[in-house]
Amino acid sequence: GDIAVIGNGAGLTLTGMDMIKFHGGEPATFLDIGGGASEESIKKSLNIVLNYEPVKVVFLNV
């Protein structure tokens, strides 16, 4: 896959992945940043997933 999913909470993150699959996409990876998502944690998360070579799209759900 080529879509990274970042969410704050396992349920929200996994639901995002399910919706991507349902609509024909393929997740590359996911990152759950927990319930206390801050600007800094979101920036760090984006840096992590954007350095994963297959990722072309980021689905951010916080």
CA distance 21 to 37: 25
Domain that holds residue 14: 3-61
CA distance 17 to 38: 22
55 burial via Cβ count (<10 Å: 0-12, 13-18, 19+): middle
pLDDT in tens, the chain (62 residues): 999 999 999 999 999 999 999 999 999 999 999 888 899 999 999 999 999 999 999 999 98
CA distance 17 to 32: 12
Domain CATH code at residue 21: 3.40.50.261
Gap between the terminal Cα atoms of the chain: 21
How many domains are there within the chain? Answer: 1
Q: Which pTM value belongs to this model?
A: 0.88
